[in-house]
Amino acid sequence: MQATYHKYILNFKRPSGTSRGVLKTKETWFIIITKNDKHGIGECGILRTLSIDDRSDYEEKLKWVCSNINLGLEKLLNEVYNFPSIQFGLEQAFLSLQSTSPFELFPSEFTKGEKSIPINGLVWMGTKEFMKIQIKEKISSGFTCIKMKIGAIDFDTELELLTSIREEFSSKDIELRVDANGAFTPKEALEKLKRLSALEIHSIEQPIKQGQFEEMALLCEQTPLPIALDEELIGVFSKTKKEEILQIIQPQFIILKPSLIGGFKGSTEWIENATKHNISWWITSALESNVGLNAIAQFTYTLQNKMPQGLGTGGLYTNNFEAPLEIIRGNLHYNNLKKWNFNLS
């Protein structure tokens, strides 16, 4: 068994605004395992400035993993416990190697094209006009759940945009989620949540920056609308610490990004702890290429969570890999008539 790693730069079709600035490109890495005439492919989706494994020795660790691939999956996962994106890439690559098809990691009704996954439509940060255009596009293309990133422009303007949706569509017609990416201060957060709750918002992701456990716990206790932890889950490796955070904060939801929290294994541990504490969850991609998105979608389907998931990022890039994934009226489908074209050149 041999392994190699490859860097790949994804180019955004249009610059995408986040609370950490505007993204034009996205760096990702692939692990490819070869055994006899079979190949296993896994994506290590790193997000610079957000991933806990955004480190200067990242490539060195990938090189070490490939040189020691014969240690097997379990030992390798333990060796890279603090590199969650590499853990995820390894899980994919080994599943891919064992599969009859390199991109069918979890065979199901989803991969047969018989069932789909409901997803939210993502509205990126930008000017009021740009965000309004995106909202109209999502609604007209059939989405019944919209997630809007907030915190980049004036809060009153963001409220205006959300109000304009509510004036036309009730909460029964359109589910609205907002993602603050930690943009609010603890002092102002509760007041802003009260103003948002008047618009029947489904939930808000990470209203204040991660690491402020007492402040977040108080906010979750007093909040007029459900709070979902997102960045709060990054960099938490032990099962004990995961349970401790959920016990202290007691959020209404947690959001799982496999590339950022240790892949399928890390996600499963969070879900088990959340279930124990009656905390709901959903899964979101983290700007991976279609390779990583495909793996996350297949895994997500097996969990049978009926809520809209955050898996609508496949169409962001000019140089993404052709894949059977397609979005039809707010649902992610696996169209077996479309073939994979995985080409790193």
78-129 pLDDT per residue, tens? 999 999 999 999 999 999 999 999 999 999 999 999 999 999 999 887 788 8
Q: Who contacts 9 (Cβ-Cβ below 8 Å, separation ≥6)? A: 25, 26, 27, 28
Q: Is 246 helix (H, G, I), strand (E, B) or coil?
A: helix
Q: Is 212 helix (H, G, I), strand (E, B) or coil?
A: coil
Which structure tokens are listed for 320?
């993404």
What mean pLDDT comes out for the span 202-215? Answer: 96
The pLDDT assigned to 243 comes to 95
The pLDDT assigned to 153 comes to 79
What mean pLDDT comes out for the span 190-219? Answer: 97
Comparing CA positions, the residue from 124, 89, 147 lying closest to residue 309 is 147
Please report, in angstroms and rounded to a whole number, the separation of the first and last CA atoms in the chain.
Answer: 23
What DSSP state is assigned to residue 304?
Answer: T
| Separation of alpha carbons 334 and 218, rounded Å | 42
Q: Which of 4-8, 11-15, 29-33, 144-148 has the lowest mean pLDDT?
A: 11-15
What mean pLDDT comes out for the span 257-282? Answer: 97
Question: 146 vs 125, which has greater pLDDT?
Answer: 146
Confidence band for 19, pLDDT divided at 50, 70 and 90: low
| Separation of alpha carbons 282 and 71, rounded Å | 33
Confidence band for 18, pLDDT divided at 50, 70 and 90: low
What mean pLDDT comes out for the span 231-255? Answer: 96
Q: Any long-range contacts for 270-278 (C-beta under 8 Å, 24+ apart)?
A: 270/233, 270/242, 271/303, 273/239, 273/242, 273/243, 273/246, 274/246, 276/243, 277/246, 277/247, 277/250
Containing H/E element for 184? none
Q: Who contacts 227 (Cβ-Cβ below 8 Å, separation ≥6)? A: 193, 203, 204, 205, 207, 216, 219, 220, 251, 252, 253
What mean pLDDT comes out for the span 198-215? Answer: 96
Catalytically active residues, by annotation: 149, 257
Does the pLDDT at position 258 exceed 90?
A: yes
What DSSP state is assigned to residue 340?
Answer: P
Residue 185 in contact with residue 155, Cβ under 8 Å?
no
* Residue-range domain boundaries for the chain: 2-98, 117-334
Confidence band for 16, pLDDT divided at 50, 70 and 90: confident
**Does the global pTM surpass 0.85?**
yes
- Is domain 117-334 annotated with CATH 3.20.20.120? yes
Percent of the chain with pLDDT over 70: 99
| pLDDT tens per residue across span 292-327 | 999 999 999 999 999 999 999 889 999 999 999 999
The CATH number of 2-98, from 3.40.50.20, 3.55.10.10, 3.30.390.10, 3.30.70.890, is 3.30.390.10
Question: 337 vs 23, which has greater pLDDT?
Answer: 337
Distance of CA 329 to the CA centre of its chain: 20
The pLDDT assigned to 76 comes to 98
282 bridge partner residues: 255
Does the pLDDT at position 20 exceed 80?
A: no
The pLDDT assigned to 188 comes to 96
